[in-house]
Each structure stands twice: as structure tokens, then as C-alpha cells.
Amino acid sequence: MSFRYPDGKLYTTNEQPRSPIPTGSGNRGMRLEDDINESIAYYRRENIALIHKKPTPVQIVNVDYPARSRAKITEAYFRQASTTDYNGVYHGHYLDFEAKETRQKQSFPFKNFHDHQLQHLSDVARQQGCAFLIFRFVASGEIFVMKATVFMQLKAESTRKSLPKDVISENSIPVQSRAFPPIDFLPAVERLFFR
């Protein structure tokens, strides 16, 4: 099942099969979150890295206990997350990131990354964790991985509402979209933080 958050963002449960959005050919237009989830599941299976998506934060107000069946939550509300969606461990190092996509062709809106996510990534960087962002341009299928600190500096210096694609390209590592894993971002993380 799926529904929309108050901010319009689509929510789907983890059990949901991949839902292609018909925007083009091949892998383009598949939901970014599905591709990231498949990629981290691949990394876990192959013992390359251990990364999990955090559960959606929910404030539970009321629970029923129907006879002979499991507890049913009958009243709950979405809470604002205080972190990013993804974190984990890679050769002992702490990884933390957020992934977003845009349908704009030439630039990436700053507002796609929320303030609480950037604040958290800034805190991660201060603790010497690997804090990064994954950008996808839906139309072209291009994917980039950038240090979160670099993004925040570019945002602070900018007078615009979005970051031009050529600026992103100059300050990040490109990742080729492929069949499996769909987004192999760890080599880019390796280059950004450990070389």
C-alpha cells in the first residue's frame, strides 16, 4: 500500500514491490528509494557494508488487543525525523546519507534536502563520520555522490534556489546506474573519503 505524507511525499511500506513510474526506458524512473534499498540489501548479502533504512518515526497514541490476534495500532501520527533515512557501517567507518531525485533537468532544488537532514549530516561530519548525499536526475538518469559538507558550503555560497548540474558534477563522483545493484555508490564513497 502507499499514501502521501502531508508534505506530498509518497510513502510505501517496505513490503511493497517495486513500482515503476513510466517516465522512460530501462531503469530510469524507478523510484530512487527502491533502488537504494535494493543496493543496500545487496551490500548486506555480500558482506560489503551493513546499511539499513530507519523506520518511519510514528507517535503511537492508542493500541487495541483484539482476542487471538496481534496488537493493532488504532491511533498514531507521523513524527518529524531527527536524522537521515540511512546509516550503517563500512570497514568500521560510520556512513550516513540521504538520497533525493529531481525531475528538473539542469539543476537540483536545495529544498529537496530538509534542514533537519543537513543538520544531522553536519553533526555526523563533526564526529568524523562519512556524511554524503546521493542526487539523481530522473530525466537523464544521472547519479552523483557528494560530501554533505561540500553541498552545505555550495548552498551557503549560493544566491539561487537550486544547484546547477554542472556545479554538482564538478564537486561529486558520478555513479553509473546499472542492473544490479541498481546504484553502486560505495566506490564513490571510497574515493570521496578514503583516497
Strand partners, 12: 2
- The minimum distance between CB 140 and its own copies, in angstroms, equals 33
44 is an interface residue for its own copies by CB under 8 A: yes
Q: Which stretch binds its own copies (CB under 8 A): 11-19, 29-37, 107-115, 173-181?
A: 11-19
Q: Is 190 annotated as a binding residue?
A: no
71 is an interface residue for its own copies by CB under 8 A: yes
CA gap 18, 183 in Å, rounded = 15
Q: Is 102 annotated as a binding residue?
A: no
CA gap 171, 157 in Å, rounded = 14
Count CB atoms within 10 A of the CB of residue 10: 12
Count CB atoms within 10 A of the CB of residue 163: 20
Q: Is 83 annotated as a binding residue?
A: yes
DSSP 8-state class, residue 112:
G
Strand partners, 64: 72
**Whether 135 contacts 146, CB under 8 Å:** yes
Please state the φ and ψ torsions of residue 25, each to the nearest 5 degrees.
-100, 165
Q: Is 13 annotated as a binding residue?
A: no
* Contact with its own copies (CB under 8 A) among 38, 94, 141, 154: 94
Q: Rounded to 5 degrees, what angle do the CA atoms 183, 189, 190 make? A: 120
Q: Which stretch binds its own copies (CB under 8 A): 1-9, 107-115, 143-151, 159-167?
A: 1-9
* Contact with its own copies (CB under 8 A) among 23, 82, 119, 153: 82
Annotated binding site for Mg(2+): 83, 85, 98, 117
Annotated binding site: 83, 85, 98, 117
Contacts with its own copies by CB under 8 A lie at 1, 3, 5-6, 11, 13, 15, 44, 47, 49-50, 52, 54-61, 63, 65, 70-79, 81-83, 87-96, 123-124, 126-129
